[in-house]
Amino acid sequence: MRCGWFVVPSWLAGVSLFGLVCFASCSGDASNLVETDVTTGAADTPPTFIDTAGSSDARVDPDGGATQDIAEPLLDTQSADVTLADAPPASGDAAPFLDVDPSDEDLGSAETLSSADVPALIDVDEPDTGPTITCTAVASVLSPLAGEFFATGTDIEFKAQVVDPSESWPLTDHVVRWTLENGAVLGETAVSADGSASWTGAISISGPLTLQAVVRHSSGAECDGAPGQVAVRLCEQRLDESFDAALDPMEWLTSGDAYWDLSGWLEVTGNSQGRQGAIYSVTPKVAPGSVSIRLRFATGGGGDFTGADGFAVSFMKAESLEEMVGWIELADGGGGLGYGNGGDYGAFDGDAFTVEIDTWQNVENDSELHSDPTASDHLELTQGLDPESSLGFYDLGDVEDLNWHSVRVDIAATQITVWYDGAVALDKDVPDFQFRGGYVFFSGSTGYYSNFHRFDDLEILHDCEK
């Protein structure tokens, strides 16, 4: 019988246990191989192996020579580190081992092996993790635009474009994980062959948020590039009025010459001389802070560049509805566009913000209380119900065509951005400006010259702070 054996140290097994592995390459009795018992404690002696049969064992000469009986211990416990026997083991020949008392004083003490002693026998390294995935793909967010406003709880579509500078992997081997800046995961979508990826879903928290498009390899490895990012604002409240149906007096009231048109819009003057009117909210109050105001307007009918005077949508901070109505009744017509109450136009000294469409150039004189910044039809932002207290304006050219035009005004802290017919018309920072919110009302006026002054499709996203 040909045997090979090695000692397994206790630091690998978790207990003070040594084992002997014997592989038989020929027939023979292996039952007499004995493993000594192991004790624990500071005086523990590593196991030794002994020959319990004496002359019945024989050592095989690997060169085919004679055999001889071995009476000495099978393991030289005083020698150097143990390796396997010369002959390779054959499967199925290993004999069982019995654990006996290690008290035989002739055995001496076995040598304890370290991990360095058995590199060829036992793998003590960490498990293999496979090849490292190198991913260089990055994403850029295409939509929405930075600074966009949304209502919480409504579906938002985000789009990104993925490129891989090193072209290490097909684009379809990637996914985009959509997250908030704090790491909260919104969703994960596949990348198309053209690199496009999109996610649509609702976000329930309000405030300024940064959305991230993080590219990952389909194996789960995160790519090296910085994530694509876009900052948006989500608002808790949304005022949405199509004005398709007659006004509900519990929500909107009219004043002066203003009325709801059967065609489904608001008319604040009608195309007649010397008109002035207003339509105001009863219960909805717009929250202070960041806000997005969207509406459509149409004016004309009085002749190109000869119509007058203009119209406006205003937000006035008032303690009560009655206070607001009182100021509306005092407002100046003509160049005051039905909202003028501050500065030279009146005694109002509170907080208000107005978006006006002015189609008549006023020049300050004995009858006109302020001068307009341009002779053209223009969009202007004012404050304090004072038409002269300008925050900025945009030249509209000839807008008196009775066609519908869109206006959008976004306010984020002191930054004001205005879109006209889908294009940015005004983008400026106004130091010390704060939008105070309040009641909303539409107003307009005519003089010697006149126009129709129509509003429709009002949408206001507000309460946009955390």
pLDDT digits (tens, 9 = 90+) for 371-383: 878 888 999 999 9
Q: Does 238-462 match 138-235 at the fold level?
A: no
pLDDT of residue 127: 52
Tell me how far apart the alpha carbons of residues 173 and 301 are, in angstroms, rounded to a whole number. Answer: 60
Residue 261 has pLDDT above 50, yes or no: yes
- H or E segment to which residue 159 belongs: strand 155-163
* Rounded Cα distance, 456 and 294, in Å: 10
Greatest CA separation found in the chain? 137
Q: Please say if the pLDDT value at position 49 is more than 70.
A: no
What are the residue ranges spanned by the domains of the chain? 1-125, 138-235, 238-462
Q: What is the mean pLDDT of residues 110-127?
A: 47
Say which CATH topology domain 238-462 has.
Jelly Rolls (2.60.120)
Q: CATH for 138-235, among 2.60.40.10, 1.20.120.160, 1.10.10.10, 3.30.9.30?
A: 2.60.40.10
**Across 47-63, average pLDDT:** 44
3-state secondary structure of 307: coil
DSSP state of 336: G
| Residue % of the chain over a pLDDT of 90 | 60
pLDDT score recorded for residue 445? 96
* Pick from 9-18, 265-274, 422-431, 448-457: least confident: 9-18
> How confident is residue 364, by pLDDT bands cut at 50, 70 and 90?
confident
Using the predicted structure, report yes or no on whether residue 117 has a pLDDT greater than 80: no
201-232: pLDDT as tens digits: 999 999 999 999 999 998 888 898 899 999 99
pLDDT value at residue 132: 66
Q: What pLDDT digit, counting tens, does each position of 327-346 carry?
A: 999 999 888 999 999 999 99
DSSP string for residues in 50-62? EESSGGG-EE--T
Whole-prediction pTM value? 0.69
Binned at pLDDT 50, 70 and 90, residue 305 comes out as low
Query: What is the average per-residue pLDDT within 2-12?
Result: 44
pLDDT at 99 over 80: no
pLDDT reported for residue 303:
66
Higher pLDDT pick, 125 / 440: 440
Tokens 């802290």 appear where? 413
The pLDDT assigned to 76 comes to 44
Task: Tell me how far apart the alpha carbons of residues 238 and 438 are, in angstroms, rounded to a whole number.
Answer: 14
Encoded amino acid at 193, one letter: A
In one letter, which amino acid is 2?
A: R
**Better-scored residue on pLDDT, 75 or 281:** 281
Query: What integer pLDDT is reported at residue 51 of this predicted model?
Result: 44
Q: What is the distance between the alpha carbons of residues 378 and 232, in angstroms, rounded to a whole number?
A: 29
The CA-based angle 44-100-87, given to 5 degrees, is 95
Confidence class for position 307, pLDDT limits 50, 70, 90: confident
The separation between the first and the last C-alpha atoms of the chain, rounded to the nearest angstrom, is 82
Per-residue pLDDT at 213: 96
| Per-residue model confidence as pLDDT tens digits over 156-184 | 999 999 999 988 899 999 999 999 999 89
- Contact between 456 and 296 under an 8 Å Cβ cutoff? The reply is yes
Give yes or no for residue 387 having a pLDDT over 90.
Answer: yes
Q: Using 50, 70 and 90 to split pLDDT, how confident is the model at 360?
A: confident
Task: Report the pLDDT value the prediction gives residue 9, as an integer from 0 to 100.
Answer: 46
| pLDDT surpassing 70 at residue 113 | no
Residues near 368 by beta carbon (within 8 Å), at least 6 away in sequence: 334, 335, 362
Cα–Cα distances in Å, from 374 out to 361, 377, 400? 7, 8, 16
pLDDT of residue 291: 97
| pLDDT for 334 | 85
Query: Lowest-pLDDT range, 58-72, 311-325, 438-452?
Result: 58-72
Q: Let me know how long the chain is.
A: 466
Residue 119 has pLDDT above 90, yes or no: no
For residue 304, the model assigns a pLDDT of 59
Look at residue 441 and give its three-state secondary structure.
strand
CB contact at 8 A, 57 and 70: yes
The string of DSSP letters for 168-190 reads -S-GGGEEEEEEETTS-EEEEEE
Evaluate if residue 54 carries a pLDDT over 50: no
What is the per-residue burial (b if ≥16 Cβ within 10 Å, else e) of 123-160? eeeeeeeeeebebbbbbebbebeebebbbbeeebebbb
Burial class (CB in 10 A: 0-12, 13-18, 19+), 455: buried
